[in-house]
Amino acid sequence: MPREVREVVFVDGVRTPFGKAGGMYAETRADDLVIRCIRELMRRNPQLPPEMVDEVAIAATTQTGDQGLTIGRTAALLSGLPKTVPGYAIDRMCAGAMTAVTNVAGGIAMGAYDVAIAGGVEHMGHHPMGEGVDPNPRILAEKLVDPSALVMGSTAENLHDRLPGITKERTDRYGLNSQLKTAKAYADGKLQPDMVPVALRSAEQGWGLATTDEAPRETSMEKLATLKTPFRPHGRVTAGNAAGLNDGATAALLASEETARELGLPIAMRMVSYGFVGVEPEIMGYGPIPSTEKALKKAGLTIDDIGLFELNEAFAIQVLAFLDHYGIADDDPRVNPWGGAIAIGHPLASSGVRLMTQLARHFAEHPEVRYGLTAMCIGIGMGGTVIWENPNWDGAAK
Ligand SMILES: CC(C)(COP(=O)(O)OP(=O)(O)OC[C@H]1O[C@@H](n2cnc3c(N)ncnc32)[C@H](O)[C@@H]1OP(=O)(O)O)[C@@H](O)C(=O)NCCC(=O)NCCS
């Protein structure tokens, strides 16, 4: 049966404020965080009849306890979506939500769905990284990966070894700038519109309301230089140039462009292409470079066509590896204009949609930009990139 691929659009995205692991969400369930996001998406888009949601794909890296039980389905039910709306759980570590988006996009493009919700959650306080994993001994015995590949901070140290031109001074400065950009974005009210407040309950502190991220902090180059290097004695990776351990959730609404227009839903971004690629697991932070090459090639674009970048800042070294590869300056204003995961936090499987939600806001502010990209590195040595087109593009030169 001949059929046409349909255009996929990003309608809207939201996230909870991101907490520090063991912080404000210590007594909040992980699934409640993502349910809050789904409900907010439906509240913000009343033109969408709930029964028209064809799929709910929710990512979590650890799929047990309050992140278990096929979280996409249970979150859909608990969000008040009709019981007829299906859902599933998905895992690609840090790129969980990004993969949820590309998966449902595939379904939309081929006509299986008209509208879908994709998102992710990670409560790293309830589910510390690596909790309960039982790696097959063969993966190390057969030297498929180096043991350091299983500790993300060690992979960042390994990347430093390979790229000696990227000094600790540079990664610290990148970390400082991320904090400064996020502080400015908060002061300018840029981040708040897509954040859904979360009711908090604490046995000790009573009731509260989370309205801002918990991780951002004031810092300085002098202070950053004094921080410990937990992954290697005399190493370069510190709490100041790495994303922290966080709790949070995201969700996005995707649709076929045709359906969005019929329902009068906003069209914030149009998906152009995406690519996922594997690299040596011990330098997983290198992943976004080949995944970007792949996504650019599929789109018939070059890096010069990209006017805005939302790069996940798992580690400053890994972002700087990407920027150096493409000859982009460390402080290029097109890159993470409102800061990134080093300041805001990185609740693993949720972060992909945070990048997209921010890019969508940048697109609205920058009609002179036609294309933007979201990219992230992924545990066990992968990279993921999604290229988006700005529907507000005014046709002018970038
Ligand atoms: C780097 C890491 C080990 C730090 O964990 P931590 O020690 O619990 O972090 P903390 O927030 O307690 O920070 C450690 C210290 O640095 C200080 N610090 C952290 N960030 C700082 C900053 N930007 N400026 C100044 N001081 C800072 C803290 O105050 C703390 O000081 P203290 O020891 O005097 O209390 C942890 O965040 C980590 O593993 N990050 C990577 C997560 C990851 O791998 N994600 C997946 C990516 S693929």
Pocket test for ligand 1, best of 227, 236, 344, 376 (most atoms within 8 A of CB): 227
Going by alpha carbons, the residue nearest to atom 34 of ligand 1 is 227
Q: Above 60 in pLDDT, residue 257? A: yes
Q: Is 153 in the pocket of ligand 1 (CB under 6 A)?
A: yes
What are the pLDDT digits (tens) for 307-334?
999 999 999 999 999 999 999 999 999 9
Q: Is the CB of 380 under 6 A from ligand 1?
A: no
For ligand 1, whether the C-beta of 24 sits within 6 Å is: no
**Sorting pLDDT into bands at 50, 70 and 90, what band is 396?**
low
Token pair of 108 as six digits:
């939309």
Taking the centre of ligand 1 as the mean of its atom positions, its distance from the CA of residue 49, in whole angstroms, is 43
Listing DSSP states for 243-285 in one string gives: ---EEEEEEEEEEEHHHHHHHT----EEEEEEEEEE--GGGGG
CB proximity list for 222: less than 8 A, separation 6 or greater: none
Give, to the nearest 10 degrees, the angle between helix 152-162 and helix 316-325.
Answer: 40
244 Cα–ligand 1 center, Å: 6
* 374-388 residue pLDDT tens: 999 999 999 999 999
217 lines ligand 1 (CB under 6 A): yes
- What is the per-residue pLDDT across 103-152, written as a single tens digit (0 to 9) for each? 999 999 999 999 999 999 999 999 999 989 999 999 999 989 999 999 99
Closest atom of ligand 1 to 238 CA is 1
The pTM (predicted TM-score) of the whole model is: 0.98
- Cα–Cα distance measured from residue 266 to residue 253, given in angstroms and rounded to the nearest whole number: 10
Angle at which helices 316-325 and 168-187 cross, to 10°: 100
Q: How far is CA 144 from CA 140, 264, 277, 281, in A?
A: 6, 50, 17, 9
Ligand 1: residue of 238, 311, 346, 377 to mutate (most ligand atoms within 8 A of CB) is: 238
Residue-wise pLDDT for 291-309, tens only, equals: 999 999 999 999 999 999 9
* Sign of the torsion angle spanned by Cα atoms 172, 173, 179, 182: negative
Would you say 309 and 147 are in contact if contact means Cβ atoms under 8 Å apart? Answer: no
User: Which contiguous run of DSSP H or E holds residue 325?
Assistant: helix 316-325
**The pLDDT of residue 397 is above 70:** no
User: Going by CA atoms, what residue is nearest to atom 40 of ligand 1?
Assistant: 244
Ligand 1 pocket check for 244: Cβ under 6 Å: yes
